[in-house]
Amino acid sequence: MSSPTAPQHPTSLATDRLAGSDPAAPTGAPSAMTGRPWTCPFCSLLCDSLQLAEAGGALVLQGSDCPRALRALARFTPGAVATPLIAGQPASLEAAIEQAAQWLAASRQPLFGGLGTDVMGARALYPLACATGAISDAAEGGALLHGLRALQDRGQFTTTLAEVRNRADLIVCLGGSPGEAQPELWRRVSVGTPDGPSLVAQREVVFLGTPVDPALEGRPGITLTAIELHGDLFDTLSLLSARVAQRRVEAPPALAALAERLRAARYAVLVWEAARLPVQGTLIVEAANQIVDRLNRHTRAALLPLGGADGLASVNQTFAWLSGLPLRSRAGPRGLEHEPVRFDAGDLLACGETDALLWIASFGTEAARPAAADPSMPVIVLGGPEVEAPPRGVFIPVSTPGIGQAGHLIRADGVVALPVEALRDQGLPSVPEVLRALTVRVAALKIAVKAAASRAGERAAAMMSAQTTAQPSTQADAEADTQADAGARTP
């Protein structure tokens, strides 16, 4: 796409920083990283008690055998440096940004998806979304909305990892073991680790609708129970809620006994994972909210929702404090709009309701990019390691928070923004740097388009004025000719 003539704008600083020529830019950590403290950015727990060492250029995890962290670290191949691409062909960073800016400036309804970045990336993304009128939805936006819509409708009681560790004597896991997606969870809340910092000597962990987590079997200080579902998860929670409220309804003995143990617990916690819930998961969350609300009338209880990995929690909270609205929102012609159903990224792409896509996946562990109904639609990807480049679009490799970029991420319980440090210089720009450069260039292109339209309007007005001025003279000439003809016919 050709670019209209645009006035010069002060983008040189951003371009120099992106190209790596800014001497003040951070260069990352020293090459020796033996036992360096590290906050893991690859799940929503943000474990900050780990360490990383370096062996032959590879990053080696110490202090944990977390499979999720190990898989993510294996993506960072020593010495591998990605190159910007335009339609599959290598290009300079400046050319890739220029092409992406042209597409975004010309788009009538762009979509910003993936959103795998940190707080600073979200802060840089929001002005670009406002400038282009983009709809913003994360890769796991549907899962995020389960808890968000329940919160909007009824409110909720939530807890923190520290409260679970220090006070929870009954933990109920809904629909699955949270230790599968968050392998370090049980250690973080000192379940089955008597030497950990906990004020609870004996706990009970109940798995509702799933087998007992094998990782907890045989550990001291805990009692493990598995209870089968009575119908589906929503039916089971509705029945459990009724029994907690002491209504006279028939229930399986195990479920009735669980209701009594919940009422007797000093601090009960219901743990659920957004990604495990079905399409109508909001109803399940509301049922869990009702149980917690009823229990808090005479004892203490709370929810621990888990999710928000790959920067999802960070971007959602950042957008909320910048605009007052969560994700699945846009700053469009009608002002700020929030449509939790209509602004689903997958549906918008499948129905062809967007004409440009900016996909951000700086961690490299995000969900795959949804397919678009129109294969020729402009696609821009800011990607981390092993992120697939669009065959016809623009690909800009970016550094990963906690590996090549310093920043902040918000933990799953929503109360802590943890700093992550740059461990090494990946030789790549960060997401905030690329987005700021795009914002400046898009603004310049839009100014140029408005200036060209203004000039065209002035020319059209001048032509109309000239025609209007010429019209009376023509009329007068016609009247004079008529009078002359009438005089010539007079005898």
Which pLDDT tens digit goes with each residue over 329-353?
A: 998 878 899 999 999 999 999 999 9
Higher-confidence position of 18 and 176: 176
Per-domain boundaries in the chain: 80-140+310-444, 144-306
At the fourth CATH level, the homologous superfamily of domain 144-306 is Dimethylsulfoxide Reductase, domain 2 (3.40.228.10)
Which pLDDT tens digit goes with each residue over 430-470?
A: 999 999 999 999 999 999 988 877 777 777 777 887 777 65
Which pLDDT tens digit goes with each residue over 46-98?
A: 999 999 998 888 899 998 999 999 999 999 977 777 899 999 999 999 999 99
CATH number of 80-140+310-444: 3.40.50.740
Question: pLDDT over 90 for what percent of the chain?
Answer: 72
Per-residue burial over 306-342, b if 16 or more Cβ lie within 10 Å, else e, is bbbbbbbbbbbbbbeeebeebbbbbbeeeeebbebee
**Reported confidence tier of residue 477, pLDDT bands at 50, 70, 90:** low
Which pLDDT tens digit goes with each residue over 116-161?
A: 999 999 999 999 999 999 999 999 888 888 998 898 888 899 999 9
- CA 122, 125, 126, 129 torsion-angle sign: negative
Which pLDDT tens digit goes with each residue over 172-222?
A: 999 999 999 999 999 999 998 765 566 788 999 999 999 999 999 999 999
Which pLDDT tens digit goes with each residue over 436-446?
A: 999 999 999 99
Which pLDDT tens digit goes with each residue over 294-317?
A: 999 999 999 999 999 999 999 999
**Confidence check: pLDDT of 171 > 60:** yes
Angle at 7 between CA 4 and CA 12, to 5 degrees: 110
**Reported confidence tier of residue 262, pLDDT bands at 50, 70, 90:** very high
CA distance 229 to 235: 8
